[in-house]
Amino acid sequence: MNKKIICLKKLTSGLLKNGSKGMTGRSRGERIRGVIEKILREEKGSLLVILDFSGLGSIDFSWADEVVAKIISRLWGGEYGEKFLVLKSLNSSQVENIGVALERKRLAALATGSEGWQIIGSLNNYLAHTLDQVMKKGHLTLRQLSEAEGIGMNTGGTRLLNLYKKRLVVRVERPVKGKADLHRGRQFIYQPLLS
């Protein structure tokens, strides 16, 4: 999977000529989202976009809703294909405003910073727990999850598939190695976006 880091401070200084570091309002948000969406649409194949908030000033709810919540909603809807988004280096105020924007639409995003990773927004407890398992182990198959959690294969498969559809994990098909594996069909390995 390809990875692209978008430094929002650099992007905004090129788009917004007034020197403001604050990201407020829907009109500014629309311009920023347009550039990010162009990248998501034009890249062929799998892509992880890391939105780097380092050095960026305050953001308000309108900006967070216009940029982050709309992009996440469209990712979940499959509009961009197999694309993923991680938020990086958010300060507490940014986390709060993005969190509210995502929670109101029942969306979630993965964020990373000096403290490690976290989920921002709204994610069911069982999916958050399953995501934690994927992050800790570095990869997880349906069989591993079912055995570790003592849950049925259907339940485990639904959890892992939902994390993938929400673009919080990557799904890789495991190649069939021998005749003994042929009866099992396809097997997917679920991996963290962050390594």
3-state SS record for 11-33: HHHHHCCCCCCCECCHHHHHHHH
pLDDT of residue 129: 95
Q: Helices 26-42 & 8-15, crossing angle to 10 degrees?
A: 110
pLDDT of residue 12: 83
**Lowest mean per-residue pLDDT among 82-86, 91-95, 175-179:** 175-179
pLDDT of residue 20: 56
**pLDDT-based confidence at 194, cuts 50/70/90?**
confident
Residue 29 predicted with pLDDT over 70: yes
pLDDT of residue 133: 95
Residue 42 predicted with pLDDT over 90: yes
Note the pLDDT tens digit of each residue in 118-134. 999 999 999 999 999 99
What global pTM score does this model have? 0.89
Q: Which amino acid is at 80?
A: Y
DSSP label at 19?
-
Is the torsion defined by CA of 135, 140, 146, 150 positive or negative? negative
